[in-house]
Amino acid sequence: MKELDSIKSFFKDMLHYTVRFSKYTVKSVIKTIRDFDYDDVFDSFRKNLKVLFHSKSIYFIALFLPIILTLVMATGMRTTNQIDYEMGFPASEEAMVAKFITSLKSNNLGLYEFPTKTSCLNSIKSGKTSFCLSFSDAFLTVDNQTDTLSVYINEDSVGSYDTQFSKINSSLVSVVKTNNLKDPISLKKISVRNYGSLILIQDIIIFFLMFLCLIFTSVTFYHRRPKLSEFYSNPNKFKHLLSDVFLSTFVFFLIASIVVYLGFAFAFGLSFGIITKALMVLILAFILFIFMGLFIGIMTTTEDINLFVTITVSSLMIFLSGLVLPSAYFGSTLSYLFNLNPYFLITKLLNVVVLFGNPASEFLFEIVILVAYLLIFVVFFYTTHYLFAAGDALLRNILKDKDEPSLEVEKTSYKYGGLNTEDISINQFQRLEEIRRKQRHHTSISKPSYKKVVKVNVEKNSRHDKHKQVEHGALIDGDFETEDNDSGVTKEQEEEPREDAFLEELYQEQLAEEAENDPKARTKKASSPAKLPKAKKTKASSSKTSSDEDDLILTIELENQILELKSDGLSDKQIIEKLKKKFKEEDIHTILTNIN
């Protein structure tokens, strides 16, 4: 009794948590759709398209996709011709029917067994088979007498199957005596409205859309995703990036599929009801393919691996779809994989909807499998976002930051007294590198130029006449000038003994390095005490440089905030409203103009 109560309690809790999760998922989806800026959908798609065109994947698509489509179409046409030798028959428990079927198999005829006569006839319309045998209820059961054996065939191919008819007749002769047959074969024609061409074209187009959807989503998400540390610091970035890539891609491919099926309706005379049902299946398909692309974009660390995984997944799905080779060519065990292939299930649903208009209840298994795939991806994305929000370090062991090439500092000299970009302070360099990193994820942002950087003060060593950067907290404003190689310190250095000690230590380290490479410098170090370089600066230059540095810091801070808001999906108007209290509106407009 206790075991029964515990089982009831377990299932009750499972039902409770399932209902809670379903409610939360539905609310999250509705909130995401409601809060999404639909005015910015096409801008987001344009941004994603620009990312794709700047990636390596575009070269593969341009070079190899036409070749792949040509091979698939040629293989599909060849497979369609081979189907002329396939024959279907409804299931039967009669012993003589089984004996007759065995005789047919010995004549090298490909056979498909269907659960009903209707499904067998539909296989002729869909192009899967070219014959359908129909047996009477008392086939060869009373004194080896039989009613007519009905053979259904495509009316456009009646004259093309003499060899197959003779094989059927010889099989009947081997089972019973010829003189006992009232009418050995009755030929019945079925009208087929060029369904074979429609199915082949539809399968090719679905493969084309599926492949583009996968590679577009995976590549754009891979290039736009930041480091994991940013997802941990702001988990909403993960959610906004997912919704941005998902909705922009979904809207584009849905519009493309509508255009395709309107062309089908015009070319093949399909009704509006059939087009509507087909689009409902395609909506389910695009959601699934986009989720697969997002999953690949999250899990891969390099663009080469991303492209390889996408091609591998697409190849497996099309190979196990029946488009390249019919399922009859595979063993019974391997053929079960067809029923787990999303592409096979979707093309099967589309063919049935377009050709026969059967109700969805007849294909409940296929729909359940597709919905199960969707739920798995939804649970993965929800769990990932939850772990980012909770700060759990588990994702750091599963997900990896994408590999990025290290950036080298530009070594372009400018007119500012021989200064180059190596003279930039560490803090400024880090800020500029942050902007350049974000520029790679937001390709609409122009590359920051070091020419806009305020020149930084350097210490000039009189012995070697070289510029040396002042490290960390020892940055001194203004331009240094040496006077007759005399040593001294500035007024600020006299007021700050800590800076004196730091510069003294820095100077001693420099002399030590020189002494290791120059014996004369070692002698000078022993004979003369260390002295600091003397520097002068005026109050005007100090205030000017300080003002320039403040402007630089404010400009970089404003640009960083604009980039973060853009990555969150905000429009230009929303950004201006949010930042105009802290920054000048004309400065915001200027930076937005440069970014756009």
Place of tokens 């930084």: 456
Structure tokens at 404: 């990025």
**Do 245 and 294 form a contact (C-beta atoms < 8 A)?**
yes
Task: Identify the bridge partners of residue 466 per DSSP, sorted by sequence position.
Answer: 461
- Residue 565 pLDDT: 81
Residue with tokens 């998922």: 25
- C-alpha 93/C-alpha 137 separation (Å) is 10
Q: How confident is the model at residue 236 (pLDDT cuts 50, 70, 90)?
A: confident
Which among 409, 384, 211 has a CA at the least distance from the CA of 314?
211
In the block, residue with structure tokens 């540095």: 549
Question: 3-state SS of 449-510?
Answer: CHHHCCCCCEEEECCCCEEEECCHHHCCCCCCCCCCCCECCCHHHHHCHHHHHHHHHHHHHH
Question: Range with the lowest mean pLDDT among 55-59, 444-448, 554-558?
Answer: 444-448
Task: Domain ranges for the chain, please list them.
Answer: 36-69+197-390, 91-192, 425-454+549-596, 457-537
| Residue 290 exposed, middle or buried by CB count within 10 Å (0-12, 13-18, 19+) | buried
> Is a pLDDT exceeding 80 seen at residue 151?
no
Structure tokens at 432: 């500029």
CA distance linking residue 217 with residue 441, whole number of Å: 14
Q: Higher model confidence: residue 302 or residue 285?
A: 285
The predicted structure's pLDDT at residue 187? 47
Least confident of 60-64, 239-243, 569-573: 60-64
**Residue 60, number of CB atoms within 10 A of its CB:** 15
Most confident of 189-193, 360-364, 478-482, 583-587: 583-587
Phi and psi for 460 in degrees, rounded to 5? Answer: -100, 120
Half-sphere exposure of 337 (CA within 13 A, CB side): 14
- Which runs of E-coded beta strand occur in 27-138? 86-90, 110-114, 131-134
pLDDT, average across residues 422-442 = 56
pLDDT digits (tens, 9 = 90+) for 97-140: 676 677 666 655 667 677 777 777 776 666 567 677 776 655 55
For the record, the structure tokens of 426 come out as 């560490």
Percent of residues, the chain, with pLDDT higher than 90: 2
Buried b (16+ CB within 10 A) or exposed e, 415-432: eeeebebebbbeebbebb
CA dist 398 and 431 (Å) reads 29
Contact present, 260 and 206 (Cβ < 8 Å): no
